[in-house]
Amino acid sequence: MGGQPFHLQSFEDEARSIVDAARSRARELLAAALAESKRIRDEAHREGVAAGEAEGRTRAEEAERARIREANAGITALLEGIARGIEQRRRELLANAERDLVGLAVAIAEKIVRAEVDSGKAVAAANVAHACRLLVGRNEMEVRLNPEDLEMVEAVLPEIRARFGGAARIETRPDPAVERGGCIVQTAQGGVDAELRTQLEEISRALMG
């Protein structure tokens, strides 16, 4: 499956690392703002000696407030960007986790079905009946089966024909390319691929939306 497996601890460690980096950057911005404010104060103080202390102090205070506002705005923007980054990463990890869970569910389903086939259960016969039901109304059907399933399916063909009023002509043909447990049913108007791999792929696509 695509992506990396989801681990809550990995996500928490990554988020903590991002936040620590953000705090470090915020401290740098604040330290720079305070240093700049001190520089402006000192410069204004020197100017104030020549132009009047009151006016110099006022200019220094205004410059300091403006610089701190600018630093605070930068810190706020930085933290907002980090919050968005963490949320985006969380969504990516959850999407990967969902894909992994779907893959696991399909893999488990595949093992169960193949175990049923190996145990001699009439999985192929059930698939033939289902495929023929989807093609009800067709007069002639050709059913391609794995040679190992042929005898079992032919034993239940009369029952399958009876379900459709006995009118349908259903012929079986061995095909080593078809997996055990599955079948491919063809008619003049079209067909149904009821191989196990095809059904599992359809289940996976449906679960993934």
Residue 42 has pLDDT above 80, yes or no: no
Query: pLDDT value at position 145?
Result: 94
Segment among 6-10, 103-107, 144-148, 196-200 with least mean pLDDT: 6-10
Segment among 4-8, 118-122, 176-180 with least mean pLDDT: 4-8
Q: How far is CA 20 from the centre of its chain?
A: 28
Q: Which residue has the higher pLDDT, 139 or 16?
A: 139
> pLDDT category, 1, cuts 50, 70, 90?
very low
Residue 142 has pLDDT above 60, yes or no: yes
Mean pLDDT, rounded, for 70-88? 75
Query: pLDDT value at position 166?
Result: 63
Query: pLDDT value at position 120?
Result: 67
Looking at the chain, the whole-number percentage of residues with pLDDT higher than 90 is 9
Query: pLDDT value at position 2?
Result: 46
pLDDT tens figures, 150-208: 998 998 888 888 877 666 788 999 999 999 999 999 988 888 898 888 888 888 887 77
Query: pLDDT value at position 174?
Result: 95
Query: pLDDT value at position 177?
Result: 94
Q: What is the pTM of this model?
A: 0.50
Residue 45 has pLDDT above 70, yes or no: no
> pLDDT category, 148, cuts 50, 70, 90?
very high
Mean per-residue pLDDT over the chain, rounded:
76
Distance CA 27, CA 19 (A): 12
